[in-house]
Structure 1
Amino acid sequence: MKQLEKFIHEHGEELLRLAYTYVKNKQAAEDIVQDVLLKAFEKQASFRGESTYRTYLYRMTINRSYDYLRSWHYKNTIVSKKIQRLFGRSAEEDVLMQSENRQLAQSVLALPLKFREVIVFTYYLDYSSEEIGTLLNCSPTTVRTRLARGREKLKLVLKEDGFDGTIENRN
Structure 2
Amino acid sequence: MNELTAEWMKVQDKDLLIDEIMDRYGQEILQLAYTYVHNKAIAEDLTQDIFIKCYKNLHIYSGKAKFRTWLWRIAINHCKDFLRSWYNKNIIPTTDYFPNHISEKEIIEEVVIQQEEDHELMSAIMRLPTKYREVIYLFYYEELMIKDIASITRTGTNTVKTRLRRAKSLLKEMLEE
State TM-score, norm by structure 2: 0.79
Deviation string, structure 1 residues 10-54 (Cα, Å, up to 9, x no partner): 221111111111111111111111111122123323311121111
Alignment pair present for 1:70 and 2:84: yes
Q: CA deviation at 1:4?
A: 3.8
Matched residue, 2:162: 145
Separation in 2 of the partners of 1:148 and 1:80? 34
After superposing on structure 2, the runs of 4+ consecutive aligned residues of structure 1 that deviate more than 4 Å are 93-97
> Are 1:57 and 2:57 matched, yes or no?
no
Counterpart residue number, 1:155:
172
Gaps of 5+ in 1: 161-171
Cα shift readout 1:129-151 (whole Å, capped 9, x = no counterpart): 11111000000000111111111
For 1:70-92, what per-residue CA distance to the aligned partner results, in whole angstroms no more than 9, with x for missing partners?
001111234674x654xxxx630
Deviation at 1:128, TM superposition (A): 1.6
2: CA distance, partners of 1:57 / 1:17: 14
User: Equivalents in 2 of 1:141, 1:93: separation in Å?
Assistant: 40
Matched, 1:101 2:118: yes
Whole-angstrom distance in 2 between the partners of 1:43 and 1:149: 35
Match of 1:33 in 2: 47
Decide whether aligned partners of structure 1 residues 109 and 47 sit closer, same or farther in structure 2, where only a CA change above 3 A counts: same
Contact 1:7–1:41 (8 Å) recurs in 2: no
The answer to whether residue 122 in structure 2 is matched with residue 122 in structure 1 is: no
Equivalent residue in structure 1 for 2:36, among 2, 22, 41: 22
Q: What runs of 5+ residues in structure 2 fail to find an aligned partner?
A: 1-14
Asked if the contact 2:40/2:97 (under 8 Å) is kept, the reply is no
Matched residue pairs, number?
155
Shift of 1:3: 4.5
Greater C-alpha radius of gyration: 2
Q: Percent identity?
A: 35
**What amino acid sits opposite 2:125 in the alignment?**
V
